[in-house]
């Protein structure tokens, strides 16, 4: 009882601080064997993390351009590019890749696999899309590229 009364104010202080722990946004890759990211748009803040969970096939999560997405280049398109590399979830389903969000700019994500073939199937994720650069337009650009 006495220990609790000492410890709990510290815990309240930590959990109330916005800078200690960001939110983790979970994105499923290849859900039900589809060429998709689920969800396909997310709105993380600086310091939040995005955890990709690879469920089927052999995919990557790689940043690319809004206008000419396919295929995303190895290493991704920056600033604050990221690239999970190829993740084989045939042998290791549930493998994860986590990246930390460092800015509030939009980031356009697709899969590098098969020379851009997965990308051209509309396998897209928008991080912080805007009203004039939407996930729907990004997906259309991918399908047409």
Q: Find, among 87, 63, 79, 107, the residue nearest to 71 by Cα.
A: 63
Nearest approach, Cβ of 112 to ligand NAG (angstroms)?
7
Number of Cβ within a 10 Å radius of residue 55: 18
Give the bridge partners for 59, in sequence order: 87
Q: How far is the CB of 85 from ligand NAG (least distance, A)?
A: 9
Given the complex with ligand NAG, which of 88 and 103 has the nearer CB atom? Answer: 88
Q: Which is nearer to ligand NAG, 33 or 132 (CB)?
A: 132
For residue 58, the minimal CB distance to ligand NAG (Å) is 4
Among 86, 89, 98, 143, binds ligand NAG (CB under 6 A): 86
Rounded to the nearest whole angstrom, what is the least distance from the CB of residue 83 to ligand NAG in the complex?
Answer: 13
Of positions 24, 88, 103, 105, contacts ligand NAG by CB under 6 A: 88
Answer for which of 58, 89, 98, 100 binds ligand NAG (CB under 6 A) is 58
* Dist CA 89 CA 98 (whole Å): 16
Q: Are strands 49-54 and 24-29 parallel, antiparallel or unpaired?
A: parallel
Task: Kindly state whether residue 132 participates in binding ligand NAG, applying the rule CB under 6 A.
Answer: yes
Q: How far apart are CA 89 and CA 137, in angstroms?
A: 29
Nearest in space to 115 (alpha carbons), one of 86, 78, 82: 86
Residue 17 touches ligand NAG, criterion: CB under 6 A: no
- Beta pairing partners, 49: 24, 100
Looking at the Cβ atoms of 48 and 116, the one nearer to ligand NAG is: 116
Q: How many CA atoms lie within 13 A of 77 on its CB side?
A: 19
Q: Which residues of this chain interact with ligand NAG, rule CB under 6 A?
A: 58, 86, 88, 113, 131-132
């Amino acid at each position: 009882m006495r220990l609790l009364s000492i410890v709990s104010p510290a815990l309240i202080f930590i959990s109330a601080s916005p800078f200690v722990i960001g939110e983790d946004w979970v994105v499923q890759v290849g859900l039900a064997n589809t060429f998709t990211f689920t969800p396909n748009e997310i709105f993380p803040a600086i310091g939040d993390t995005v955890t990709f969970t690879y469920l089927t096939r052999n995919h990557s999560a790689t940043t690319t351009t809004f206008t000419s997405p396919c295929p995303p280049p190895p290493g991704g398109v920056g600033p604050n590019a990221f690239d999970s590399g190829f993740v084989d979830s045939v042998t290791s389903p549930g493998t994860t890749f986590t990246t930390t969000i460092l800015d509030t700019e939009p980031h356009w994500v697709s899969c590098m696999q098969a020379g851009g073939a997965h990308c051209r199937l509309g396998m897209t994720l928008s991080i912080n899309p805007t009203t004039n650069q939407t996930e729907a337009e990004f997906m259309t650009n991918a399908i047409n590229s």
